[in-house]
Structure 1
Amino acid sequence: MAVFVALGAFLMTLVGGWAAQRVTDRRHLVLGLAGGLMLGAAGLDLLPEAVEAAGHEVFGVPQALLLFVGGFLLAHLVERLLAGRQASHGAYNGGRHDHHAPQLGMAAAAALVGHSLMDGIAIGAAFQAGGGMGATVALAVITHDFADGFNTYTITSLYGNERRKALAMLFAAALAPVAGAASTLLFTMPQELLGSYLGFFGGVLLYLAAAEILPEAHHDHPARSTLLCTVAGVAFIWLVTGVAE
């Protein structure tokens, strides 16, 4: 089931890459909804489930909460390191990208592929916890993978790489969640480890929503409709979580 659902992430990543080549004025609404779905999944479903599954405390704080914060901080650290590397290599010059650093674009795209692989593992792990959890995580990941596909194609081509290389990285990012979900068929996570992983992944998901997806959605279109899409995404996850319970 997890692998079948991961095929949705595969398709959504390709759709995101296709949209990167044909950007429309409605992209901000899609990203606003994606950010809301990711925020709702992290705060309303992943975190409570993680705390319940990994209830062990470390210095008075539930282990899952520590890993939730750790996931958020690690995602922030990786993003800052990539930004620092771009700056040190002259990737930005007066607000414009240096097109003579194609390897930097490939490295950033490879990081996105690795992230998509972890998305697939998260889907598989969530289905091990239960169908309701699996459906919620899958929905958040599939929606988020639109942005992954969009960003993978954009960042590869933005630094001067040929179109065929951008397409190759896009297909790698699309296949990664399927491979990640398939890997979970080979093992079953212990309950505490599963809760810890879901807590960590929830922190990463929250960072991606708060620091990347939502700011990008409102960057060029700070419209009320974008905010409504975000609220609708959170409300939908709340509804799905309530029905699953």
Structure 2
Amino acid sequence: MAVLVALGAFLMTLAGGWTAQRVTDRRHLVLGLAGGLMLGVVGLDLLPEAVEAASTEVFGVPAALLLFVAGFLLAHLVERLLAVRQASHGGEETNGGRAPEVGLTAAAAMVGHSAMDGVAIGAAFQVGGGMGTAVALAVVAHDFADGFNTYTITSLYGNARRKAQLMLFADAVAPIVGAASTAFVTIPEGVLGGYLGLFGGVLLYLAAAEILPEAHHEHPAHSTLLCTVAGAAFIWLVVGISG
């Protein structure tokens, strides 16, 4: 049953990526919306779940929040190291000097997160049908944003469209794989919470330091800002309905 439900997440992820591809002539609006979706996912979905699952304090701070900060710093460090390596090789910088590897790494993290979504579906159905249905609805609803963000992040860093589509497909398949794996593996709640915190830090860095500045760089329009607000509000709506 969990695998069948995960097929809905598969379709919604592809729909999100397809939408991101079709509106390339309004790139600033796409990036503004993606930034808002990522901000909403981090602040309203990932962090609350992470803190609840990994609430053990380390020197007065919940472990999930420490990993959240570590994820933010890790994303910044990886981007800077790759940019320095690219410059030291004397290669021609493209796409504003961004390293394509950063986009692929971030997209791979999105794939990992989607796999955890599938695990959450499978685990919830092990608890009971009602719990499984509630979790499945939440996952399917926000996987549209996951597909949208996966394609946008990959292509923003200068990767070819084919690579962006490949990462989108991997992100779509990941919930199915995750749901199927629950028949064999159980992930401790604390480990899952720590992962969500780390991933949230990475996403926040990409949204705040890369995607939103790029959205307003060439088109500092009110419509771009409205798209960002709409993206965050959409995730709030999804969290409220699924809660």
TM-score (norm 1): 0.76
Where structure 2 has 5 or more consecutive residues not aligned to the other structure, the ranges are 125-134
Q: Which residue of 2 aligns with 1:148?
A: 153
Alpha carbons of 1:35 and 1:94: their partners in 2 closer, same or farther (altered >3 Å)? Answer: closer
Partner of 1:201: helix, strand, or coil? helix
Q: Aligned partners of 2:71 and 2:103: how far apart in 1? A: 20
Partner of 1:120 in structure 2?
A: 114
User: SS at 1:76's partner residue?
Assistant: helix
CA distance in 1, matches of 2:94, 2:187: 48
Letter in 1 for 2:55: G
**Contact kept in structure 1, 2:45 and 2:239, CA below 8 Å:** yes
**Residues 1:72 and 1:174: Cα distance change in structure 2 (over 3 Å):** same
Contact between 2:56 and 2:62, CA under 8 Å: does it hold in 1? yes
| 2:16–2:143 Cα contact (<8 Å) kept | no
Match of 1:101 in 2: none
Q: How many residues of Structure 1 are paired with residues of Structure 2 in the alignment? A: 223
In the alignment, which residue of structure 2 is the partner of 1:160?
Answer: none
Change in 2 beyond 3 A, CA 1:197/1:54: same
Deviation at 1:60, TM superposition (A): 1.2
Could you tell me which residue of structure 2 aligns to residue 216 of structure 1?
214
| Number of the residue aligned with 2:59 | 59
Corresponding residue for residue 161 of structure 1: none
Aligned partners of 2:147 and 2:172 also within 8 Å = no
Which amino acid letter does the alignment assign opposite residue 117 of structure 1? V
1:30 and 2:30 equivalent? Answer: yes
Percent of aligned pairs sharing the same letter = 49
The answer to whether the Cα contact below 8 Å between 2:151 and 2:168 also exists between their aligned partners in 1 is no
Structure 2 residue 2 is matched with structure 1 residue 8: no
State the 1:59 CA deviation.
1.2
The 2-side partners of 1:126 and 1:211 are apart by 30
1:12-91 equivalent positions in 2, closer than 5 A:
12-13=16-17, 16=20, 23-24=24-25, 26-91=26-91
**In structure 2, C-alpha distance between the alignment counterparts of 1:50 and 1:31, rounded to whole Å:** 26
- Report the Cα distance in structure 2 between the residues aligned to 1:214 and 1:94, rounded to whole angstroms: 19
Return the offset for 1:139: 3.8
Please list every run of 5 or more consecutive structure 1 residues that lacks an aligned counterpart in the other structure: 98-103, 157-165
**Matched residue type, 1:120:** S
Match of 2:132 in 1: none
Q: One-letter code of the match for 1:144? A: N
Whole-angstrom distance in 2 between the partners of 1:135 and 1:215: 29
Instruction: Give SS of 1:209's match.
Output: helix
CA distance in 1, matches of 2:33, 2:95: 28
Q: For 1:225 and 1:41, how far apart are their aligned partners in 2?
A: 21
User: Any idea what SS the aligned residue of 1:226 has?
Assistant: helix
Distance in 1 of aligned mates of 2:84 and 2:27:
28
Residue by residue over 1:52-99, the C-alpha shift from the partner in whole angstroms, topping out at 9 and shown as x without a partner, is 1111111111011111111111221221122112111223469987xx
Amino acid at match of 2:80: R
Distance 2:159 2:115 in 1: 24
Query: What is the CA–CA distance in structure 2 between the aligned matches of 1:113 and 1:233, rounded to whole Å?
Result: 19
SS in 1 for 2:187: coil
Q: CA deviation at 1:177?
A: 1.3
Q: Distance in 2 between matches of 1:119 and 1:46?
A: 10
Structure 1 residue 14, shift from structure 2 partner = 5.5
SS state at 2:159 partner: helix
Check whether the contact 1:136–1:240 (CA below 8 A) recurs between aligned residues.
yes
Letter in 2 for 1:224: H
Output the aligned Cα RMSD. 3.0
